[in-house]
Amino acid sequence: MKATKNEQPFITDVQELRSRARAHLDDGAVTPAYRGDVKQTIDILQTVLATEIVCVLRYTMNAVAAAGISSDSVKEEFDQHAKEEQEHARKVAERINQLGGRPNFNPEGLVSRSASQYVEAPNLVEMIKENLVAERIACEHYSELIRYFGENDPTTRVMMESILVNEEEHANDMHDLLVAHEGRPSLPQR
Ligand SMILES: [Fe+2]
Ligand SMILES: [Fe+2]
C-alpha cells in the first residue's frame, strides 16, 4: 500500500510488519495487532473444547443406545450431530494451538471443564430432551463469548459465530424431534 507524502499510511510499513513477525516467531498467530487477552482466550476455549467433546460423547452414546419405534431417523440425527460436534472440537483445538496453547483433551476433569453435562437418559424422549438442554446451554454460552471476543479477537469471534449457527440448528432439530415424538411442543410458542 502506497501513501503520499502528507498522508499517514493505512497500514504499518510492510518492512516493519515483516521484521516484527520475524522477531516474534514463537508467538505463532498472535501478533501485536491482537487485542485480546491471549491467556484468557485460551482458557475460555479450553472450556468450549471440553463442552464440544462432551457433546460428541453424548450424541455418539445416544446414537448407539436409541431404540424403539421410529428410532432410525433419530439415530441418524444423533450421528450427524456427533460428527458436527467433532468438527467444532477440532476447530476450537486448532485455534488454541494457533494462539500458542495446548488443547486439553485430557479425559480427567473433562466434565468439570465443560459447560454442558453428560447425562445418561433412560429412553429416546429423555435423550432428545437432554440434548435440547445441552444445545440451549451451548447457544447461550457461545453468544456470551461472541460478545466477549467482539473486536478484540475477530478470528475467534467469527469461529464461535460459525459454531453458534450450527448449535442453533441442533437445538432446532432436537426441538422438532421432541414435537414429533411427544406430539406437543416443549417450548412455549411465541
Ligand atoms: Fe458443538
Ligand atoms: Fe450442538
**Residues 95-123 pLDDT 10s:** 999 999 999 999 999 999 998 888 889 99
Say how far apart CA 143 and CA 147 lie, in whole Å.
Answer: 6
The grid coordinates of residue 48 equal: 468450549
Task: Tell me the CA–centroid distance for residue 66 and ligand 1, in Å.
Answer: 20
- Answer whether residue 58 shows pLDDT above 90: yes
169 confidence band (pLDDT: 50, 70, 90): very high
**Which is higher by pLDDT, 145 or 23?**
145
Neighbours of ion ligand 1 (CB under 5 A): 52, 85, 88
**What is the C-alpha to C-alpha distance for residues 158 and 148, in angstroms, rounded to an integer?**
12
Cβ(121)–Cβ(127) under 8 Å? yes
SS3 state of residue 21: helix
Give 44 or 189, the one with higher predicted confidence: 44
Provide mean pLDDT across the span 124-141.
Answer: 92
| Residue 55 alpha carbon to ligand 2 centre in Å | 7
Q: In whole angstroms, how far apart are CA 80 and each of 42, 83, 114? A: 28, 5, 21
Q: Distance, CA 102 to ligand 1 centroid (Å)? A: 20
How many angstroms separate the alpha carbon of residue 172 from the centre of ligand 2? 10
Q: Could you tell me the pLDDT band of residue 90, with boundaries at 50, 70 and 90?
A: very high
User: Cβ distance 131 to 174 under 8 Å?
Assistant: yes
Looking at residue 21, what is its pLDDT? 63
**Separation of 155 CA from ligand 2 center, angstroms?**
20
Phi-psi region of 185 (alpha: psi -120 to 50; beta: other; left: phi over 0): beta
How many beta carbons lie within 10 A of that of residue 121, not counting itself?
17
**pLDDT value of residue 5:** 47
User: Contact at 8 Å (CB) between 66 and 121?
Assistant: no
Encoded amino acid at 163, one letter: I
CA 163/CA 179 separation, integer angstroms: 24
Instruction: Tell me how far apart the alpha carbons of residues 104 and 115 are, in angstroms, rounded to a whole number.
Output: 15
Instruction: Give the Å distance between the CA of 170 and the centre of ligand 2.
Output: 5
Question: What is the pLDDT, as a whole number, of residue 32?
Answer: 76
In this predicted structure, the answer to whether residue 4 has a pLDDT above a threshold of 50 is: no
Task: Compute the distance from residue 54 Cα to the ligand 1 centre, in Å.
Answer: 9
Q: Distance, CA 131 to ligand 1 centroid (Å)?
A: 11
Helix-helix angle 154-182:72-98, to 10 degrees? 170
Instruction: Say how many Å lie between the CA of residue 69 and the centre of ligand 2.
Output: 24
In this prediction, residue 187 carries a pLDDT of 58
Cell numbers linked to 31: 501478533
Q: In this predicted structure, what is the pLDDT of residue 14?
A: 66
Which has the closest alpha carbon to 61: 137, 136, 120? 120
Confidence of residue 25 (pLDDT cuts 50, 70, 90): low
Q: Give me ligand 1 centre to Cα 27, in Å.
A: 28
